[in-house]
Amino acid sequence: MISTANITMQFGAEPLFENISAKFGNGNRYGLIGANGCGKSTFMKILSGALTPSSGNVSITPGEKLGVLSQDQFAFEQYSVIDVVIMGDRKLWEVKQERDRIYSLPEMSEDDGMKVAELESEFAEMDGYTAESRAGDILIQAGIEEEFHFGLMQQVAPGWKLRVLLAQALFANPDILLLDEPTNNLDIHTINWLAEELNQRKCTMIIISHDRHFLNSVCTHMADIDYGELRVYPGNYEYFLEASGLIREQLLANNAKKAAEISELQDFVNRFGANASKAKQASSRAKKMDKITLDEVKSSSRMSPSIDFGEGKKLHRQALELKELSHGFDGETLFAGGNLLLEAGTRLAVIGENGVGKTTLLRCLVQELEQNEGIVKWSENASVGYCPQDSTTDFDNDLSIFDWISQWRTVKHDDLMVRGILGRLLFTADDANKKARNCSGGEKNRLLFGKLMMQDINVLVMDEPTNHMDMEAIQALNDALKVYTGTLIFVSHDREFVSSLATHVIDVKDKQLVSFQGTYEEYLDHQKKMLMVNL
């Protein structure tokens, strides 16, 4: 069990959170949630010991091991991948290091010999001789091929380093596991593996994630930070939304009853307070009224943007045609033989493992890249809006937020309307004068949505649009796309997002574009049936 006693964290005049006392244990899996900036990652760092709180303390049941997902993906560049995983068992790694140091000495003294004998015994008791094999098994499950296991971490692509660090956190079979955004940069297949892996483990977990499906499939409890306070709810994220809403409604209903009672008592006091025969009754009611207190019901600190992509000129029948589309780099083919007729109004999800070419495919579709072979043919009336995964070039300027989004204004957009769009996207009047390039990842995404909202488009192409977004913004985007009547082509690793939107799927695998007419869940069922047939 890991517990906190009166934890307060203060960076400025106002505390980030105050007097948080909580217990996390019994093998429960807690989703730590809250609005961006509420202090989730700070709280997690305090739990891990990486950060000291302003006041209060953290305690762990003696003898229990703590596992933490490292947030620095570049901290182990000079170590081999297999060693980075073994480091997850700190004691084993220390023993191994000292043992290897003694063996590397040019000459070993008698004391060294006795010491290494002790270390060998300890190493054996900790199952050290199977460490590489066990670490390798986890890496394989995480999608890291054996050929990379003994290479250096600096040779591992950034999108894959997280998998190694996940294997590190899992390696020692910790009693308590802290995972801050474990699904970042993972494809859907690996996220599914991680969810299954975590569900099989018996340890207590605290998880920060913006992936709703992941939280629903893994978590047994939700720990919500709001207004600097933490409240734990039993159940997964979906249950939390329902339960927290019901609790708020109940508090408001109780307050309404109390307010009605206070009004009735006050009315009696006003009418009969000066009446000698009823003065005693009026006094009694006044005292009763003073004892009634209304519960404090704060509105959540969470805020949702208002996103609406409107409706451009309606396309009829066909939106896009692909003929023998092929692309690759340096002689290496990513995908080939892509053929597709996409009907207008379709919501096409492009899925596949990391590195197979999903982003490259989208860049070919919007003609940011010229394909090696084949034809990309849009409908004559198609007006395509693109939201890239990497928006670095979009913000490579010194424009203010107001001037940045004004680049796409038309004659119908006066200053008031532009500021209105910024307001709907949660930018204040003061924010409008800030440099757009200094915005956070989530803020930049919202500006990209604003750019699309200002254009008359009938096709949306979006590459990982939920990256860097909080739950409320993801849900707002999800809702906006559900009612969008144009054609949507998107890449996302958010299972809930894909499942709720896709009416057509392209799976980029084995260097082919595998097309499936149907929802994502239907595609998964189809894949399972095909697997059974081939057994």
CATH 3.90.25.10 fits 318-534, yes or no: no
pLDDT reported for residue 387: 96
- Spatial CA neighbour of 366 closest among 478, 463, 454, 464: 463
- Give me the residue label for tokens 């202090």: 39
User: Is residue 412 classed as helix, strand or coil in its secondary structure?
Assistant: coil
pLDDT reported for residue 299: 65
pLDDT reported for residue 66: 94
CA 361, CA 290: separation in Å to the nearest integer? 68
pLDDT reported for residue 169: 95
Return averaged pLDDT per consecutive 10 residues of the chain, 535 residues in all. Answer: 93 85 96 87 93 94 93 90 95 92 87 88 92 94 91 88 93 95 87 93 95 95 89 92 79 83 84 75 83 75 88 88 94 91 96 91 95 94 94 93 94 92 94 91 93 94 92 94 96 94 95 94 89 71
pLDDT reported for residue 297: 67
pLDDT reported for residue 459: 96
- Spatial CA neighbour of 220 closest among 44, 32, 30: 30
- What CATH code would you report for 1-64+175-235? 3.40.50.300
Query: CB 410: neighbour CB atoms within 10 A?
Result: 8
pLDDT reported for residue 321: 96
pTM value is 0.81
Amino acid residing at 100: D
Assigned token pair, 162 = 């997280």
- Spatial CA neighbour of 2 closest among 36, 30, 35: 30
Query: Which residues partner with 322 through β-bridges?
Result: 340, 376
- Spatial CA neighbour of 280 closest among 269, 290, 291: 269
User: Are domains 1-64+175-235 and 318-534 of this chain identical in fold?
Assistant: yes
pLDDT reported for residue 30: 98
Q: Which H or E run includes 393?
A: none
For the chain, domain boundaries: 1-64+175-235, 73-173, 241-291, 318-534
Assigned token pair, 327 = 């692309």
- Find out whether 458 and 416 touch, Cβ atoms under 8 Å: no
Q: Is 511 left (phi over 0), alpha (psi -120 to 50) or beta?
A: left
- Find out whether 177 and 165 touch, Cβ atoms under 8 Å: no
